[in-house]
Amino acid sequence: MIVDLLRHGALQGGVKYRGRVEGYLTTEGRDAMNQVWQRIAKDVDVMISSPLKRCLEPAQAWAKEKGIVCISDERMAEMHYGDWEDKTHAEIERDYPGMLALWRIDPTGMRPPKGESPEELRIRIADFWQDICTTYAKQHVLVVGHSGSTRMLIAHIEGKPISYTRDISMPYACWSRAQFHDEMSQMLFIDG
């Protein structure tokens, strides 16, 4: 099984910890996603997307264009950032001095106020990976997600700790590829 991972493109309103807050793609953000889709479209058999519109709307359009199924899966939604949601780095620093700096080094054992812990995210991502490896073992899958959920999926596939998520470059419309073969998972590339 080959699994392409695509982070959504740039969003209107600039860089924020949006989490579960809906954000709308810029024209450039959607174009960047479309460029990746054009490179892989002929190979993809099934699409799985976060339910958030910045991921789901392009995925549904591509699936319709190709005549394949697009599944919305809550487990690939972005991490719930609680009180950090829809705030910029500066706003989080103002309200929670020093916390974001520690988070960005290693979020292990931390939790954004009223949000989801990285350990909880890891559990749902591991469950997601197990399911798709079982269900789509002989297919080429495209997963459209977010920075946080996709980084955690990459860390899980590589058998790395949560802290590894901080070492992965994940720009907008980042495209990565994994495979599951002979009961083994591995990353083939991360285009960060």
Q: Is 177 helix (H, G, I), strand (E, B) or coil?
A: strand
Using CA atoms of 74, 15, 177, 63 in order, give the dihedral in degrees to the nearest 10: 50
- Given this model, what pLDDT does residue 143 score? 98
Could you tell me which CATH number the domain at 2-191 has? 3.40.50.1240
Using CA atoms of 59, 62, 67, 71 in order, give the dihedral in degrees to the nearest 10: 0
Domain residue spans of the chain = 2-191
pLDDT > 90: percent of the chain: 96
Outline where the chain has alpha helix (H): 27-40, 53-66, 89-95, 99-105, 118-135, 147-157
**Chain center to CA of 94:** 27
pLDDT > 70: percent of the chain: 99
Q: Is the pLDDT of residue 147 over 90?
A: yes
The pLDDT of 154-166, averaged and rounded, is 97
- Given this model, what pLDDT does residue 191 score? 86
Contact indicator for 18, 89 with CB cutoff of 8 Å = no
Outline where 25-116 has alpha helix (H): 27-40, 53-66, 89-95, 99-105
182 pLDDT tier (thresholds 50, 70, 90): confident
- Given this model, what pLDDT does residue 142 score? 98
192 pLDDT tier (thresholds 50, 70, 90): low
Q: Is the pLDDT of residue 54 over 80?
A: yes
Structure tokens at 71: 């599944």
